[in-house]
Structure 1
Amino acid sequence: MIRATFLALPLVVLAAGAQARDAGCRIEQAGRVVFDRTCDFAPDGRDGSFTLSPRGGGQGALFGPILMVSVSVIEPGLAEVRGLTRDGINSRWGTARRSQRDGACWQGDDFRICAR
């Protein structure tokens, strides 16, 4: 099963890169900035969901072991956030609320994601 995940991973990255556009991305974890530069922003549907991945559809990590981060809107103003690791683990970060002050940002219990 893990082998199938690794084989499918490049297809996911390429698919995200096909529709992606450059965005200014900032990710904070536990109050610390872990990523603050241009990345690929790929919208996912019309509900505001999106995926962040390395710029240009690169095969490298976004930061640390994280290859991409997905923000999946589950209801207006509320999203489920996950990070896909190099090991093919789709780790659940938790729920996040859209910032009232900055609509480009989503705030979770111990993380914040912004894409402009």
Structure 2
Amino acid sequence: MNKALIVLILATALVPLAAKGKDARCVVKQNGDIAYSGSCEFIPDSGGSFGIRRKGNARILPNITDISVFIVSPGVAEVRGLTTSGINSRWGTAVRSKKDTACWTGPDFEICAY
């Protein structure tokens, strides 16, 4: 896959977050600690990709409003967080948990949506 296509895919990863989501329960861990656990909107996208956000303008983390999990290959995703400054920050690659398929685990984070 060429670099321009990868950039285009990642740049559009949060576009579906403008859509109305489904009510869900989300758990976000950072460095093994629960950073957020509670209600959220789950915004599905094609191919199993999805985004999560809290309802209204509430932040899911102190400086993060939205989190996107963009599937790049079976069981592998690219995770990004949209900051309050509008920066689409790259968190890194995550793999789908074999223990809990609602969860995606990266090097220092885990995103679960139920």
Residue type at the aligned position of 2:109: F
CA distance in 1 between partners of 2:87 and 2:77 (Å)? 19
2:46 counterpart of 1:63 = no
Alignment of 1:1-116 (within 5 A): 15-16=18-19, 18=20, 20-45=21-46, 47-55=47-55, 58-116=56-114
Give the gaps of 5 or more residues in structure 2. 1-14
CA distance in 2 between partners of 1:96 and 1:14 (Å)? 19
* TM-score normalised according to structure 2 size: 0.83
The Cα of 1:61 is off from its aligned counterpart by 1.3
Q: Count residues in correspondence.
A: 100
Give the gaps of 5 or more residues in structure 1. 1-11
Higher helix share: 1
CA distance in 1 between partners of 2:96 and 2:17 (Å)? 27
The Cα of 1:39 is off from its aligned counterpart by 0.2
RMSD: 1.5
Residue type at the aligned position of 1:89: I
Q: Percent sequence identity over matched residues? A: 50
CA distance in 1 between partners of 2:85 and 2:52 (Å)? 18
